[in-house]
Amino acid sequence: MFLAWKEIKHSKTRFALIIGVMVLVSYLVYFLTGLAYGLAQDNRTSVDKWEADAIVLTDESNQNINMSMMTIGETEDISADETALLGLASSVIRKEGETGEDAKTNVTFFGIDPDEFIMPEVIEGKPFENDDEVVADISLKEEEGIELGDTVQLAGSDKEVEVVGFTENAKFNVAPVLYTTIASYQEVRFEAADDSEDGRISAVVVRDSTADFDEIVGDSEDLVSYSIGDYINNIPGYSAQVLTFGLMIGFLIVIAAVVIGIFIYVLTLQKTSMFGVMKAQGISSGYIAKSVVAQTFLLSAIGVGLGLLLTVVTSFVLPATVPYSTNWIFFISITALLIIVAVLGALFSVRTVVKIDPLEAIG
């Protein structure tokens, strides 16, 4: 370690360039991983908030909640510890901006019963109590400037809703969620509220870890229950998006690791004459090999560590509209992989060090 550190301090410029390359490569990997993870999470955060075990949809919906439609009466035979009715409608809201023009935003309405378990935690304001009141995802405040008490209008309709509270981590298919009553949801989707057994909803969310999925819906031939995991994987576009970004990040990590390994190998070969002199002085190949590995570990740890630090700093200054999210499990795994591959590149070059003939290297 002494020899490795001594050489780094002696050749500051050369090793600074190597560390700089590692910083940029690792920063690119970390940042793209955060973007990919954040975009994937924006498809499902509202579903994760349920902490549910299953969801009941109509058989004809093909696991697409947007195409699922059932009456409240049909849900009476569902058997589970806890159930919650859910109506889902995609819409566009508009609010007059500072320039006088309407600012339009794609949103998803969740019609729920506020007394059931899928009611989100309100971090600002209060829960909705009446029809035409909504609890919105906090991103609408951060990105669109919507404040508590603001009234927004549905595009193409005269219906207005008042924002009475905000919650966090509530997005579905990348759109912020507005939680409201089932009656308000029905007005958004059908332009008429119906609280009777014939009133229509989209799904029933189930919380029961011991339930048999086939038994949840009883003898109903029109309803099917799915595990939350299966349902999330079938959210339109989610699986394709995760697979695409996963392969992209995976290949990027492999390429980055190989580039770092090649840099270390070339660096070792450039010092062949120096190693020859050291061996001529009686320094063992084992000591030189340990120094090469130690030096590689220092360079990769510093470079990758600075890349991670730069990524964390960047995450604090990104605008709220950027779908970035930090997953420390991913980052720690990437850090370990990059350092391990760099050390493996050094170990591969150690074979060259061992075979060095002092006379040939000096000559």
Q: How much is the pLDDT for 99? A: 47
CA distance 216 to 83: 10
Place of tokens 């970035």: 324
According to DSSP, the β-strands at 102-111 and 82-96 are antiparallel
- In this structure, the answer to whether residues 49 and 175 fall within a common structural domain is yes
Which residues, other chains included, contact 327 with Cβ-Cβ below 8 Å and sequence gap of 6+?
33, 34, 37
Which of residues 236, 261, 295 is at a domain's end? Answer: 236
Chain centroid offset of residue 256 CA:
21
Mean pLDDT of 87-115: 82
Check whether 69 has a pLDDT greater than 60.
Answer: yes
CA distance 342 to 258: 8
Q: How much is the pLDDT for 323? A: 84
- In this structure, the answer to whether residues 188 and 111 fall within a common structural domain is yes
Check whether 314 has a pLDDT greater than 90.
Answer: yes
Check whether 66 has a pLDDT greater than 50.
Answer: yes
Q: Which position has the higher pLDDT, 316 or 268?
A: 316
- In this structure, the answer to whether residues 156 and 257 fall within a common structural domain is no
Q: How much is the pLDDT for 258? A: 77
Q: What is the pTM of this model?
A: 0.80
Q: Classify burial at 195, counting beta carbons within 10 Å of its beta carbon; exposed 0-12, middle 13-18, buried 19 or more.
A: exposed
- In this structure, the answer to whether residues 202 and 304 fall within a common structural domain is no
Check whether 353 has a pLDDT greater than 70.
Answer: no
- In this structure, the answer to whether residues 155 and 259 fall within a common structural domain is no
The 10s digit of each residue's pLDDT in 228-272 is: 988 988 887 788 888 888 888 888 877 877 777 777 777 777 777
Average pLDDT, rounded, for the chain? 84
- In this structure, the answer to whether residues 60 and 194 fall within a common structural domain is yes
Residue 65 in contact with residue 88, Cβ under 8 Å? yes
Secondary structure letter of residue 235 according to DSSP: S
Residue 166 in contact with residue 152, Cβ under 8 Å? no
Which of residues 217, 236, 255 is at a domain's end? Answer: 236
Mean pLDDT of 284-292: 76
**Number of domains present in the structure of the chain:** 2
Mean pLDDT of 263-287: 73
- In this structure, the answer to whether residues 321 and 189 fall within a common structural domain is no
Q: How much is the pLDDT for 120? A: 93
pLDDT interval class at 165 (50, 70, 90): very high
Domain extent, residue 337, equals 2-43+239-362
List the alpha helices (DSSP H) in the chain.
Answer: 2-10, 12-41, 45-48, 139-144, 182-190, 213-216, 228-233, 238-270, 272-280, 285-317, 328-354, 358-362
- In this structure, the answer to whether residues 83 and 198 fall within a common structural domain is yes
- In this structure, the answer to whether residues 338 and 302 fall within a common structural domain is yes
Q: How much is the pLDDT for 138? A: 93
Q: What is the 3-state secondary structure (H, E, C) of 26-53?
A: HHHHHHHHHHHHHHHHCCCHHHHCCCCC
